[in-house]
Amino acid sequence: MHLIFDLDGTLVDSLAGIASALNRALESLGLPTHPESAVTTFIGKGSLELARQAMPSGSPDPLAHELDAAFQREYADQWKAGSHLYPGIDTLIHSLHLDGHQLAILSNKPDAFTREIVDHFFPGDIFTQVLGKSERFARKPAPDAACFLLDQWEIPPSDARFIGDSDVDRQTAENAHIPFIGVAWGYHSATGLGDTVAENSDQLGQLLRGSA
């Protein structure tokens, strides 16, 4: 089986690092900060959209770009201290890799951060493709990057599975015609993730192996 994973909220809990970096960036621009409970609702559509949602209503868009740049500078210094794998994920991913599954990451996080985080938590060649937000592809829920992975693997959508924690991930899978498996432990409500949702990493492993 060929498996495409979202990163934040699916494999890695990065909320603390994102919230800390965002609030430091907001403070540097004299803007009000947010609790983690609010920041979690901003995550999933990329750092620029994160910045737009964090700003006061009616703020000019150039300020969002300034906040995005400030956030990325702060996040570069803080992500390791504010990120960890969800329970059981390390064991699951290594097990899937050893079983011969082809694994990829598809994230709306900037590409450089995505690769750095994956290299930190999953060193080696566990993931054959790691794709973050870049100029190569439109960000999720556009299917471009997911379809690129299918082309690289030379498989039809039915031979892949897309795993994520958000409606953006579900929409991406639908747009690429890839069967979707949601995870209930992420940043977003499981009610919008469709009929197949894993409650924990053990159940996710069972669902993935049952799809093979």
Task: Give me the residue label for tokens 């579900």.
Answer: 170
Domain-ending residue, one of 63, 78, 93: 78
pLDDT of residue 211: 65
Amino acid at 132: G
pTM beyond 0.85:
yes
Judgement on whether residues 126 and 148 belong to the same structural domain of the protein: yes
Q: At what angle do helices 144-153 and 167-176 cross, to 10 degrees?
A: 50
Per the structure, the count of domains in the chain is 2
H or E stretch covering 62: helix 61-78
Between strands 129-133 and 102-110, the pairing is parallel
Helix (H, G, I), strand (E, B) or coil at 48: helix
Asked if the model's pLDDT at residue 167 lies above 60, the reply is yes
Judgement on whether residues 193 and 131 belong to the same structural domain of the protein: yes
H or E stretch covering 176: helix 167-176
Judgement on whether residues 8 and 29 belong to the same structural domain of the protein: no
Give the model confidence (pLDDT) of 78-93 as tens digits: 888 889 999 999 999 9
